[in-house]
């Protein structure tokens, strides 16, 4: 999820094998297919490093939303959600610390690497410029709630999509986070109804 008009955490993913372990997939910037050579393989750790960044963006966004919230109940909910995103980030970091390389059976060489790169390149939760522009336009708590609801759904979709690329050992953790993100969406929808 997103950032306190200090910009969102930028993503740059490198989907090559045999590089430095921690932080090899994500550095400052955004993946640009024209600028980076593409490998036919990717590592499972890339998926979880992206997930860490999504959650960091969520933490930053909810902290920003607290600042523009008009009432204490809304501020409390945004603070709670920032804490939840922090827990998710820690879960993904824990998975990252013990992850092993996992290959996904492909119909053709590079199928899933190409899919993941395309998904990341074309999704707003990974595109810093669009996210910064949207966040700069948020002026009140209703706009913040709508933005947060969309990003929660984007996160759910990402986690559902990448689940097939990771070992079944991690499916339980991912399913738990998906369910929590759904609950966040429900909370935000209820909050919106009561404004």
Tens digit of pLDDT for each residue in 26-63? 333 333 333 333 343 557 787 888 888 889 888 989 99
pLDDT digits (tens, 9 = 90+) for 134-147: 888 999 999 999 99
The token pair that represents 34 in the structure block: 């024209």
The token pair that represents 88 in the structure block: 């998710």
Is the four-CA dihedral 137, 142, 144, 145 of positive or negative sign? negative
- Of residues 149 and 163, the one with the higher pLDDT is 149
Taking the C-alpha atoms of residue 81 and residue 4, their distance in angstroms, rounded to an integer, is 14
Parse the chain into domains and list their residue ranges: 44-193
Q: Which CATH number fits domain 44-193: 3.40.50.300, 3.40.50.1100, 1.10.150.120, 1.20.1260.10?
A: 1.20.1260.10
pLDDT at 102 (0 to 100): 62
Which residues have CB under 8 Å from 48's CB, separation 6+?
A: 92, 95, 96, 99, 166
pLDDT at 66 (0 to 100): 95
Which of 57-66, 104-113, 148-157 is predicted with the least confidence, judged by mean pLDDT? 104-113
Which of 73-82, 104-113, 166-175 is predicted with the least confidence, judged by mean pLDDT? 104-113
Task: Count Cα neighbours of 136 within 13 Å in the Cβ-side half-sphere.
Answer: 8
Q: pLDDT-derived band of residue 103, with 50, 70 and 90 as boundaries?
A: low
**pTM as predicted:** 0.73
């Amino acid at each position: 999820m997103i950032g306190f008009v200090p910009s969102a955490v930028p993503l740059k993913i490198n989907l090559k094998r045999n590089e430095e372990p921690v932080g090899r997939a994500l550095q400052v910037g955004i993946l640009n297919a024209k600028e980076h050579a593409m490998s036919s393989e990717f590592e499972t750790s890339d998926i979880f490093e992206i997930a860490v960044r999504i959650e960091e963006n969520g933490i930053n966004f909810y902290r920003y939303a607290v600042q523009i919230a008009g009432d204490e109940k809304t501020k409390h909910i945004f603070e709670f959600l920032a804490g939840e995103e922090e827990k998710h980030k820690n879960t993904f970091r824990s998975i990252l610390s013990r992850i092993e390389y996992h290959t996904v059976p492909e119909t053709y060489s590079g199928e899933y690497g190409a899919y993941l790169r395309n998904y990341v390149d074309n999704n707003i939760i990974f595109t810093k410029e669009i996210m910064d522009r949207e966040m700069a336009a948020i002026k009140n708590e209703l706009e913040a709630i709508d933005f947060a609801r969309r990003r929660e759904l984007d996160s759910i979709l990402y986690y559902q999509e990448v689940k097939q690329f990771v070992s079944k050992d991690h499916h339980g953790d991912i399913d738990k986070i998906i369910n929590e993100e759904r609950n966040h969406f429900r909370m935000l929808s209820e909050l919106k109804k009561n404004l």
